[in-house]
Structure 1
Amino acid sequence: MQSEVHQTIQTKPQLQTAQTDHHQRIGIMGGTFNPPHIGHLMVADQVMSQLGLNKIIFIPDANPPHVDHKTSIDVNDRVEMVRRAIIDHIHFELGLMEVHRGGVSYTYNTLKELTTAHPENKYYLIIGGDMVDYLPKWYKVDEIVKMVQLVGVCRKGYEKSSRYPIMWVNMPKTDVSSTWIRQTLQHGGSVRYFVPDLVLSYIEEKGLYQHAAQGNN
């Protein structure tokens, strides 16, 4: 499956192989992206703008530790949807390091790979405000905070507090989620404008999310 992704998905130059400018400020957005939606794009754009970052790397996970693999859609579909979602933004890139590495995708391993390959860059790991409370359960989180700057996206209902050093970014509240999109599609509803047009056309072409619940956010 990994070789198939490598052959069929056309992406911008990958961070692990591309020559980057010295001392870039790079945001990292990881996730299942099942599917990617406007909420993901809004967060990335606000973080990049408010923190003055050079780019945002979207990194789909291969096998997230919290997902039932029997119900998760094919990684090729998730990668293609991310590629389509960010295609028009010159500062958004697609990173395939977790897909190529295979196995369970742990954030620590990905950040270790990035910071080792490009120690001249400063990385900003973007996480939703609802995920901050789960940081103590992350694999090697104490090592993660030494490698990158954590960026928390503040949303209504979640406090700006954590024992970890977090840089907070404010943005308007949005209730759109991958879960809501999947459930709406399963019931024959419309998700137009909640996902980019190219993503929606891919979902329709492939008949994705038409049956039982698939994957997580």
Structure 2
Amino acid sequence: MRIDIWSDVVCPWCSIGKRRLEQALADFPHRDQVEVVYHSFMLDPGAPTEPTGTAQEMLARKYGLTLADAAEKQSAVIAVAAELGMDWHQHHDSPHVGTFDAHRLLHLALAEGGPVQQATLKDALLQAYFGEARNVADHDVLREVAAGVGLDAARVDEVLASDAYAADVAADIAKARAYGATGVPFFVVDEKYGVSGAQPAELFAQLLERAWAESRPHLETVPAAADAEVCGPDGCAI
């Protein structure tokens, strides 16, 4: 079974939704047969690579809030993250920056290390942004984070210095639009079921069970005569 997830590395609900899905997968008896692949989605394609302010300030401007109100909303999200074991105490200082290059590196991780390597880099980027308030558009930061999870630093530099995987990022965004996704996180299970938002772990668990059951043939055994002959491991009774 495959789960495709569209998300951004500066999206708090994407990180929270990821953790809730992981909780559901931890209790799913077939979790070893589930592949999870992450896809690109940029909440603010026009965001700068050099910080011009914090995400909190951007939130206030975008929604017409005071800085105090924006801080209160951030605090509420930080509290939800804490319930899931994530320490985002520095998130109030997270910079408002673009994520295009971070997404390109996530594609590099998938191409060279598979879904597990990609998920590891995803976690590291989310921690860098929400837990450490780092600039995930800065190439030095991206190189450090990527190399820290096992990607070759020279290869990372090659990608960052080029337009490698730009087409993959664009294709992901186009696919999200084709699915009708206007926000993230957006989850697609076996290209059959789509669900938007950081759903509770219980809902993810129900979705996993349903998708698994429907992806496997179901055989209904009908009553048979008690004296019907069969052969077994010990041979045939004749």
Pick the structure with greater CA Rg: 2
With normalisation by structure 1, the TM-score equals 0.31
Greater helix percent: which structure?
A: 2
With normalisation by structure 2, the TM-score equals 0.29
